[in-house]
Amino acid sequence: MTSGPERPAEFETIAELFRPLTGGAPEARGLLDDAAVLPSRPGQDLVITKDAIVEGVHFLPDDPLDLVARKLLRTNLSDLAAKGAEPYGYFLAVSWSGRCGLDERAAFARGLAEDQARFGIVLLGGDTTSTPGPLTASVTALGWAPHGRTPSRAGARPGDLVLVSGAIGDGYLGLKAARGELRGLEPERVAALARRYRLPEPRGVLARAVRDHASASADVSDGLVADLGHICAASGVGAELQLEHLPLSAAAKAWLDHRADPVASLADLATGGDDYEIVCTARPEHAEALIRAGDKAGVPFAVLGPVTRGEGVRVTHAGAPVAIARPGWRHP
Ligand code: ADP
Ligand code: MG
């Protein structure tokens, strides 16, 4: 082994840092077996999602590892919420890089412990390696939903309404804030946006309403226009996204106030990634129930426009079409 922080052995990491994260769940077998064993639940579907992160791509090389771990878990929880599933357990693959000594690994595990407690999920297994390259990690998250009730991206029909939860654009502004590229806003607002980028809020509180009332649903990770586009493509429909109805945080409103071309800037917010909200469609009579549920949960839904015949997302502002250069983030 070469210099750098003291590198603990694989099995110490598993026993000391990861075993406590199982919360004693019998399925995990104390992280001492070849596999976890999950009993089935009659009448329920197991909903499974996976998200990976790479240092330098999904997080900045000096980001603290407790926040990195929490964001990784949260991006997976966001997918479960969009599918109307209740969190159950997760599997973690991590490939430690040279900067990951015992302190960094402990910070990573501490972050996981904090969000596990907050969102009600436990570690069930995984794999541990190290790499000469950048730190990478991936989570496979499992959730339960009543059988046959998980909304897909393919259920939108003309006449449905498009809804989105929470606020859009804080991911876009938060990345700028985290990179120190956001000027003209008060320091507290910049700090709040950077925090929101590093620590998105998965919308598990909306999972039940989504599975009860949405005709199609997706989480907003690539950018609202792109993710709504995925629903349109899967459903064989079009949609109109009315930018004047885009729900914004107070910080995003303050940013917009200083922009020379507010409509173009609204389009930037609608195409930036990392919001981790839920975009969904619903028949008009179900949209009311979704809105009531969102208000009750403290995460309101906004109605963005109609699902239409045709294909693709038509972005408008006060009825006029708005040109979109790039609907969202794409890996090369
Ligand atoms: P294998 O030899 O089959 O790869 P391992 O020795 O890697 O098995 O894993 C032993 C046990 O430790 C398994 O229960 C596995 O799920 C668990 N484990 C290994 N790495 C992790 C991790 N990063 N997070 C959670 N559990 C882990
Ligand atoms: Mg292994």
- Best mutation site among 22, 34, 127 for ligand 1 pocket (most ligand atoms within 8 Å of CB): 127
pLDDT level of residue 329 (50, 70, 90 thresholds): low
Q: What is the largest CA-CA distance in the chain?
A: 64
Share of the chain above pLDDT 70, in %: 96
pLDDT tens by residue, 105-122: 999 999 999 999 999 999
Q: Please say whether the dihedral angle defined by the alpha carbons of residues 246, 250, 251 and 254, taken in this order, is positive or negative.
A: positive
Please give the distance, rounded to the nearest whole angstrom, from the Cα atom of residue 126 to the centre of ligand 1: 5
Which of the two residues, 329 and 33, has the higher pLDDT score?
33
Say whether pTM exceeds 0.85: yes
pLDDT of res. 13: 85
Residue 126 CB–ligand 1 contact under 6 Å: yes
The closest residue, in CA terms, to atom 18 on ligand 1 is: 126
pLDDT level of residue 184 (50, 70, 90 thresholds): confident
Please give the distance, rounded to the nearest whole angstrom, from the Cα atom of residue 179 to the centre of ligand 2: 35
Tell me the domains of the chain and their CATH numbers. 10-146 (3.30.1330.10), 161-321 (3.90.650.10)
Half-sphere exposure of 211 (CA within 13 A, CB side): 23
Share of the chain above pLDDT 90, in %: 89
Q: Is 224 left (phi over 0), alpha (psi -120 to 50) or beta?
A: alpha
Only one residue has tokens 């900045």, namely 60
Q: What is the mean pLDDT of the chain?
A: 95
pLDDT of res. 328: 75
- Rounded mean pLDDT of 77-95? 98
Burial of 190 (0-12, 13-18, 19+ CB in 10 A): buried
pLDDT tens by residue, 283-304: 999 999 999 999 999 999 999 9
Chain centroid, CA 222 distance in Å: 9
On the question of pLDDT at 326 being above 90, the answer is: no
pLDDT of res. 2: 44
Q: Which of 78, 59, 79 is nearest to 69 (CA)?
A: 59
Residue 127 CB–ligand 1 contact under 6 Å: yes
pLDDT tens by residue, 189-243: 999 999 999 999 999 999 999 999 999 999 999 999 999 999 999 999 999 999 9
On the question of pLDDT at 279 being above 60, the answer is: yes
Ligand closest to Cα of 127 equals 1
pLDDT of res. 12: 81
The closest residue, in CA terms, to atom 14 on ligand 1 is: 31
Please give the distance, rounded to the nearest whole angstrom, from the Cα atom of residue 66 to the centre of ligand 2: 22
Residue 254 CB–ligand 1 contact under 6 Å: no
- Rounded mean pLDDT of 89-94? 98
Closest ligand 1 atom to the C-alpha of 31?
14
On the question of pLDDT at 3 being above 60, the answer is: no
